[in-house]
A and B are shown apart, each in its own frame.
Chain A
């Protein structure tokens, strides 16, 4: 019996009758003895350690040992939609938070399995996301589980303690000349910390440093009060859109989600009566926006300002010099179109263009009356300061002069990305104390005196604003994986106060200003919703100075180099992310490399060739020289580029340091080969760092480059080796007038044979015994739902968000460059990219993209040939892969006309680092080697929703089930649902006259079908492609 004082001391009321055992007992003379059955000590061992003591101590030890593995966030975070009373094992929770991206916050929902975040979705209630995400949000979860993240505080490369840094911060006095280099951020907390830091250290310099360079739009557009104005486009209402080298639909675009959603609305066509807008793209690269264009004109980036001037003067905005040369039929036809559209036209300028072009675009929009209609300007609550490059140059000068005492770099990597003229490393050497906060011990971290591991955004409290200014709290999903990790706010907070304040307190303190009234209630609501209602920026009108500006277009013979953010690894921050390294470039389909894109004409002049060799391309290596500095990159011949324009992307050629030991394998074992993580960080040794070419002005366009061949060759792996459609009706498109003339042009592209019945009516092999007709199927409860998908090619840009979402949801493994080159990539969903042109204009074709998941054929050719029935039809009409039945004959893949099946040639998961294993979705089987796999229509989501509906005793709602690709798609190009529900969105989409089934003539009856693209070319101009 446990002897607890609370039991002993309780006063029991005196009973009326007493029970007694002996007279002594009656008299109470035995004292405490009568409480126990045994004498005290009767059960104790003579050596003093009692059984109970032993159990007590062991029990406590076990409990403690268990507790030490618990990593519950100390602060309270609130689940988004369903709030069970406690965590139900296997039931994921969703939390709303936000991902900082290029200075704005992307609103997201994160799925968490027992405290382990596994999947990122858009926040459906947030006005800037509407549930969609780009590829980077999807991939960012793998950045957190990156096995090469730095894990401890380092001082001069040697392990140190955070408290040593705390002491250092406390010892600083106000006279310390501090400089902080920070990435662009929208966080109000950081902003207020910056203000307080300036109070404590009056000489503080704060440099916002974006590796891609100045933000020209920010420089160009200012409000009357001197604040930054930010354009927000409403393409849904636009009749004519003109893009001046702007890839506003591209994956790296800051405002991708809103731009694409608006543009998709413009392009969605239910019937021939709908009129889509018309998109003119004048660009130097072949961007995804260019692929969507109705008319695309290729010009070198350096020539586009002159084109903009010509456009402006044609529209009557000032007398601008230099435009005359650009006048041609294209420009005149476009101008007439723009004038006709008036306020329903809009001009967008791209990041490669100087601020003057941005101002000009805004002036044109104002003159057209488009402001308020197709574009509005937001008053970004930030004082305009001198441009990034001016401040950065001043900093570097001070550094070299030894006038900086403490340089704090918050998650930036200038040693890697700053132009070499700055000699940043040596500059750091002249600074007394350099402190680097970063996810990796990267180039800058290795050069800094102090390196502090940074928390991933899913690990720390923070805040920020979406593109439109809507405020959100960034709430952590998990305690930092590495205890030493600190957030930007925490490091800044330490410098400001000298105290080690948790990020939560800093953010709460900041947010008290935004949460009037019942602060706790409002805080909980903001956390729950993921944003603060009505907190967007007010609209404004920018003050424009369109005074003449002179641009010197590059000479005829001059070669320009254009440097952009990479569509897969961005500025290098996603370079150590396997999903992004193996994500095909949306245009070139190249993986695990960066290349120099050049036009076919330029390649011919230089004698550059790309030889197709054994499934890979062996290309010549170019040496690109700017101002005497050069970089060697493999050439890639890209049709549709202007001559004398070389396109490079940032983010490659990284040097990350890791503590992970390299893998060693036995001689007969291929573990080293199959482990993409075997030789240290993935990013190392892939591609070249192109920032060495950049000039001190950090412009993206570098004129006067020299390009020559080196005689070396390089092997490139792509996921698509053949880019032309060979005249096959795979991607179908028509112009608007053709569509109106023949609304069923898409299904009619493959007419039935003369005198034969329609393709749909063709009898199938095994028709009589077709599985879908068997009682086992028709009597099954699942039979009442029949799943189908429709993909709208009119809106799909090919931005890759769906591909990464699919990788994340379905545990798709990455295989490395060499294996991709051997044709063994595992992507369940791929985006086919084809070039379309006539015979004469093959060097300037149109580009079309087509996502290809499993078609879930009703007469699936794969099912009939499997000898062990490992791929079968489900009662709800999907084609299922039974992994543990599969013996791996690969016959199904051979017989799949769409080639969507993927085979695990090796055991990819055996060598996955532990942290990466944590990123796997527990609801999807992790496949062993030797089995086939493919898109399942996210069957785990279907079954999950069916279970939920059944438990709630209600019918399944249309739209309740979203496949991972559909959910991510910023364009909402993918419709998925129940074909048996006549009101479902997918049934409506299937009524669209543009609908066709790819390879329907094989009578495979695919459940996935496409809506053909309808372009809206200007009748005055030749349509492209």
Chain B
């Protein structure tokens, strides 16, 4: 990676004028020292939520899908809404790592590690929901192409099957990508480790990294290849998720705009979640010099961009419904905005389209409390977007005689809350045991990395 930019004319990506050692200290010590009380409190709460998730799943598997609010016509309820919600969140990490990497957006280095971790944990939560949402979980493996004595294959025309492949390959590639990026940093931790066991364990996970030139060459090559591999996946996974809806014939689902619209929405929600987590983490771990206001501002700009794209898609859907002259389609959209679930629709509209518009103003998009509030609003809005698409479209389709209403049960709510427990527990463990910032990469973008840095200093 060449560095041809002049540091004097550009805002530095990392502030504080930290030396390499200070940087290492800043990040690595959190993985080494005894965690503070606050961490124990946080993981205590999140594991209770996780326990609640396990209890809810056990209750549902024991009694049946009926413990949720799903019915006919609303065959898909909260579990699918939660699934799409978590898959969407799982988009930011790989986007930051892979696409921004390919586009040489070097500011990504401060946030990519945590964002990738978030992606993986979000995809774990996402994979959970379609799995538990089926009626007979004990035969869920029939969706996988496993050779069997019945000569039965899955039905490859079904978008659900595409989903299985899309999400699982996305998960595997993201995990690999994350792990490959971790190797140099794990080696740093290994070198700093004091106990024998810690040295061994980190030694195994850092795969004998010595930092030799050959290692770096292979590493950079692998990272580039994985970035190239992950980039289409970022776009494909949510396109395929959108096929679950777009390939059906339900009015409100059967729309060609869904793939780009879903991808934009996913990036939107993913960045919002990154902002939510980073605003807290940089404060708590004192890494404001690494994750600077400039980073946050850039993410807010992406939120503004993708939020407006999503909002544009909402309006396009209305236009197309009118333009198509299909009564069922028109009713589906009028019903969204004015029907019994209009409240959900307007929550979605105000959170996703209206709220991010404050980021047009530089002062506001650099305001940390405000951006935190907006990011939470966007997360809520994006959950409601999936609710609007899934539930509102289903509850009133072709035959008015079959129209119904969906009400979630306490099990729906507790399961969703429990999925946050899973997510936060994994994320807290990540913060505790792994370097939360990509040290080796950040070191490449600090001003000190410039071969002429010390020239300037001495002159």
Contact = CB atoms under 8 A, between A and B. Distances in A.
A125 B327 CA distance: 49
B136 interface: yes
Interface string A893-913: 111011101111111000000
Interface stretch (B209-217, B244-252, B270-278, B285-293): B244-252
A232 interface: no
Interface in A380-422: none
A406 to B, nearest CB: 52
Interface stretch (A363-371, A720-728, A949-957): A720-728
Given A730-B399, A887-B139, A929-B64, A867 B404 contact: no
Contacts of B331: 726
B245 to A, nearest CB: 9
Contacts of B396: 722
A868 B135 CA distance: 13
Interface stretch (A460-468, A520-528, A827-835): A827-835
Contact of A823 (B73, B139, B244, B327): B73
B397 interface: yes
Interface stretch (B6-14, B149-157, B191-199): B149-157
B334 to A, nearest CB: 11
A895 B250 contact: yes
B67 interface: yes
A597 to B, nearest CB: 20
B75 A894 contact: yes
Contacts of A724: 400
A612 B340 contact: yes
B140 to A, nearest CB: 6
Contact of B135 (A865, A869, A887): A887
A759 to B, nearest CB: 14
Interface in A767-822: 819, 822
B405 interface: yes
Nearest to B157: A864
Name the residue among A869, A906, A907 with the largest chain B CB count within 10 angstroms.
Answer: A869
B250 A885 contact: no
A669 B62 CA distance: 8
A932 B396 CA distance: 20
Name the residue among A722, A907, A999 with the largest chain B CB count within 10 angstroms.
Answer: A722
B401 interface: yes
B78 to A, nearest CB: 13
Contacts of A612: 340, 405
A864 B158 contact: yes
B159 interface: yes
Contact of B142 (A865, A885, A932): A885
Given A670-B66, A895-B250, A823 B71 contact: yes
A865 B160 contact: yes
Contacts of B397: 897, 899
Nearest to B407: A614
A722 B339 CA distance: 13
A1002 B143 contact: no
B72 A823 contact: yes
Nearest to B65: A905
Contacts of A886: 135-136
B400 A722 contact: yes
Contacts of B174: none
Interface in B138-170: 139-140, 142-143, 152-155, 157-161, 164
Nearest to A1002: B249
A559 B430 CA distance: 74
Q: How large is the interface on B (under 10, 10 to 19, 20 to 34, 35 or more residues)?
A: 35 or more
A891 interface: yes
A905 B64 contact: yes
Nearest to B69: A822
Contacts of B154: 867-869
B242 interface: no
Contact of A868 (B75, B143, B340): B143
A929 B160 contact: no
A387 to B, nearest CB: 43
Interface in A63-115: none
Interface in B88-132: none
B179 to A, nearest CB: 30
A894 B250 contact: yes
B73 A899 contact: yes
B66 A905 contact: yes
B400 A890 contact: no
A930 interface: yes
A54 interface: no
B28 interface: no
A302 interface: no
Contact of B158 (A723, A730, A865, A897): A865
B402 interface: yes
Interface in B392-436: 394, 396-407
A887 B140 contact: yes
Given A615-B404, A728-B327, A887 B136 contact: yes
Contacts of B73: 823, 893-894, 899
B399 A929 contact: no
Given A885-B152, A887-B139, A930-B65, A865 B72 contact: no
A728 B406 CA distance: 23
A176 interface: no
B134 interface: yes
A928 B139 CA distance: 13
Contact of B64 (A822, A867, A906, A1002): A906
Interface in A481-526: none
B142 A894 contact: no
A560 B197 CA distance: 90
A721 B164 contact: no
Interface string A720-758: 111111111010000000000000000000000000000
A890 B159 contact: no
A766 interface: yes
A889 interface: yes
B411 to A, nearest CB: 11
Nearest to B248: A895
A899 B402 contact: yes
A813 to B, nearest CB: 12
B248 A852 contact: no
A651 interface: no
B70 interface: yes
A1011 to B, nearest CB: 18
B135 A931 contact: yes
A615 B396 CA distance: 12
A905 B394 CA distance: 17
Contact of B403 (A721, A727, A928): A721
A469 interface: no
A726 B401 CA distance: 10
Contacts of B74: 823
B76 interface: yes
Name the residue among B63, B64, B152, B406 with the largest chain A CB count within 10 angstroms.
Answer: B64
Name the residue among A670, A895, A906, A1002 with the largest chain B CB count within 10 angstroms.
Answer: A895
B454 interface: no
A887 B64 contact: no
Interface in A858-889: 861, 864-869, 885-889
A824 interface: yes
B453 interface: no
25 contacts: A615-B404, A615-B407, A668-B62, A669-B63, A674-B66, A726-B400, A728-B328, A730-B400, A822-B71, A823-B74, A823-B405, A833-B401, A865-B247, A885-B152, A890-B76, A891-B244, A891-B248, A893-B72, A894-B76, A897-B398, A903-B75, A904-B135, A905-B66, A930-B64, A1002-B398
Given A668-B59, A852-B401, 19 more contacts: A615-B404, A722-B401, A726-B331, A822-B71, A822-B407, A823-B404, A823-B405, A852-B399, A868-B142, A868-B154, A889-B160, A891-B76, A893-B73, A894-B75, A899-B72, A903-B65, A928-B136, A932-B135, A1002-B249
Interface of B: 59, 62-67, 69-76, 133-136, 139-140, 142-143, 152-155, 157-161, 164, 244, 247-250, 327-328, 331, 340, 394, 396-407
